[in-house]
Structure 1
Amino acid sequence: MTSSLNSINQQFIDNLNRVIDRLNTDQLDISSGVRMRQLADQPDQVSSLLQARAALAASQQVSTNLGNVKTEVDTAEQALQSAVQLFDQVQTLGAQGATGTQTAGARATLASQLQSIERQFVGIANTNIQGRYVFSGDTDQTAPYNYDSTQTNPVSAYQGADSTRVVLDPNGSTFPVALTAQQIFDANDPSGNVFSALNGLVTALQNNDEAAIQTSVNGLSTVATYLNNQLAFYGNTQDQIASATDYAKTQQTQIQAQISNLEDTDMTSAILDLTQAQTQEQAALGARAQIPRTTLFDFLA
């Protein structure tokens, strides 16, 4: 009899402990909002959770990189906006110089104004942000050009390097984010060489050579078109960065939802299970209280 009673008691205690464990787990899940607090809680979900967290970290790093590049690209785009507007002045001054009624002195004055503009172009080419020359390619600690007004060609040779910089899109592809000052202002093709066009026009005006002036002025429109195309590159890059940034935000929202599904508490299920466990605990204790407590002395009475 004693052995049988002990067995029943032990079974009751074991069952009650399991219910209490459920209660404790449910209460902790609800209070913390997290059901996966350690690897042993959901061992079959650990791999998926680690992969999701790694994907989130990678996407967040891409967003950071895009933000850094955006600052540089915006600065470069604004610089080229200024360059395009400045070249409009070159065309205006060139047209004035090509007028047949202009005197040699007036043309010399126009040439001086154009030299000042050329110096401004060098300043634009040497645009610097946070210690980096944005148009120097991969050698961004070196200014692309020097300017020496005592030289026949006052603009030095390009001092930078090619640009190989790309940024990672969250979809896994990459796209270039920079042009060099040489590509923009100093192309090998004369139709895309701002400095060559300026120098040719300045020389023609200084020499009061009407034919050379007209030839130089006629070539300015193709240079202007080329310069606008370089500006368009940065406008397109801005659009790519904006699109990639939006994509990354959406991607991160989706990954965070995946992580939440893996580790966060399902409140509805947890509360329901807590209620059921409380009911089972109360029922078990109530039933146990109804069991007659018969002892050996009861039989001897």
Structure 2
Amino acid sequence: MSFRVTQSILSNNMLRNINKSYKKLETLQEQMATNRQFSKPSDNPLGAMKSMQYRTQLFENAAFQKNASEALGWMEMTDGLISEAGDSLTRVKELLVQATNDTLGEKERKAIAKELGQIKEHMGTVANANINGRYLFSGTATDQPPYSPGSETAEPPFQDGRFNGDAINNDLMEVEISKGIYIPMNVPGKELFEHGEQGVFGVLDQIITDLSDPTKRGEELSVHMAAVDAQKEHFSKIQSSLGGRVNRLENASNRLEEQEVTMTAMLSENEDIDIAKVITQLTAQNALHNAALSTGAQVIQKTLVDFLG
């Protein structure tokens, strides 16, 4: 059976093809304007799903990087404070060596006791260090100061300063640096300052008390050397452990930055256009479109209207 091709069929086919050409031109022009391969999920469902996954991973990565940055700042400040406290204990030993000299008079011993009291208060300032109102050495009770300052007018000076061990706790503050991976960022003050039977503040109080007692001789004061050494060694161990955590956190932070670069590149490859390729396609499609319009104008037969006038 033969099929008669009419002028109407030719016209309809031509219009349909021209509309398809317009659609391709519109798609290519939109890609050039947005620099994206697709603008809505229906354009590329698989690509849209991949983009959503990449963006979710980048969002999680940004949160982990923020956690790591905050924890690193907290830990670096803690490390510096422990070093500062260790230096204070070094000065305590120097003063103890002077105090063991039995030729010192009451005035000299009181001057040493006063400086030791100031060192104790400085140690209290270290204990009360905070970031944005959050105390570093209070465990998870970051709104509670670990140390209550003493007074210079106390007898002996600053002897009334107290470490508030009951107001804080020994809990660790953990941050998530990767999915399901947590690292503690704090050093609880109870662990740092309450080592041994007396803790560092108790050791300092005992030294100041004995030094203020004129009946105590140099030999009796020298026994405190071992206690000071024990506290200083404890600080060093805590600092060493903290250093290991800092190294681990820095490695994790570097890894997160590398992952961000990789995922951003994958997202770009999935979404962004190849500009040179799209320009070539747009130029070719524009030429085809013009050719279709030219050909279509020749295919459509002239009507009686064309001959009137």
Cα distance in 1 for partners of 2:184, 2:163 equals 26
User: Is 1:198 aligned to residue 166 of structure 2?
Assistant: no
Deviates more, 1:17-26 or 1:140-149: 140-149
Cα distance in 2 for partners of 1:238, 1:205 equals 40
Cα distance in 1 for partners of 2:49, 2:300 equals 52
SS of match in other structure, 2:162 = coil
- Identity between Structure 1 and Structure 2 (%): 20
Structure 2 unaligned segments of length 5 or more: list them.
none
Report 1:13-162 matches (<5 A).
13-103=15-105, 105-148=107-150, 150=154, 154-158=161-165, 159-162=167-170
Give the counterpart of 2:188 among 162, 172, 180. Answer: 180
Give, in angstroms, the shift of residue 178 of structure 1.
0.3
Cα distance in 2 for partners of 1:288, 1:36 equals 31
Structure 1 unaligned segments of length 5 or more: list them.
none
Give, in angstroms, the shift of residue 90 of structure 1.
0.5
Cα distance in 1 for partners of 2:162, 2:201 equals 8
Counterparts in 2 of 1:292 and 1:164: CA distance versus 1, 3 Å:
closer
SS of match in other structure, 2:263 = helix
What amino acid is aligned across from residue 226 of structure 1 in structure 2? H
What amino acid is aligned across from residue 203 of structure 2 in structure 1? A
Give, in angstroms, the shift of residue 293 of structure 1.
3.0
Partner residue, 2:175: 167
Partner residue, 2:236: 228
Counterparts in 2 of 1:294 and 1:199: CA distance versus 1, 3 Å:
closer
Give the counterpart of 1:286 among 271, 294, 300. Answer: 294
Q: Do the aligned partners of 1:84 and 1:227 also contact (CA within 8 Å) in 2?
A: yes
Counterparts in 2 of 1:222 and 1:162: CA distance versus 1, 3 Å:
closer
Report 1:220-299 matches (<5 A).
220-291=228-299, 293=301
Write the deviation string for residues 9-63 of structure 1: whole angstroms up to 9, x where unpaired: 2112111211111111101101111122111111122222211111111111222
Give, in angstroms, the shift of residue 165 of structure 1.
0.7
Counterparts in 2 of 1:270 and 1:172: CA distance versus 1, 3 Å:
farther
Write the deviation string for residues 222-280 of structure 1: whole angstroms up to 9, x where unpaired: 32122123333444444344333332222222222222222222323322221221222
Q: Do the aligned partners of 1:170 and 1:247 also contact (CA within 8 Å) in 2?
A: no
Give, in angstroms, the shift of residue 91 of structure 1.
1.1
With the length of structure 1 as denominator, give the TM-score of the two structures. Answer: 0.86
Deviates more, 1:99-108 or 1:213-222: 99-108
SS of match in other structure, 1:115 = helix
Counterparts in 2 of 1:209 and 1:203: CA distance versus 1, 3 Å:
farther
Cα distance in 2 for partners of 1:154, 1:6 equals 102
Partner residue, 1:219: 227
Cα distance in 1 for partners of 2:303, 2:118 equals 114
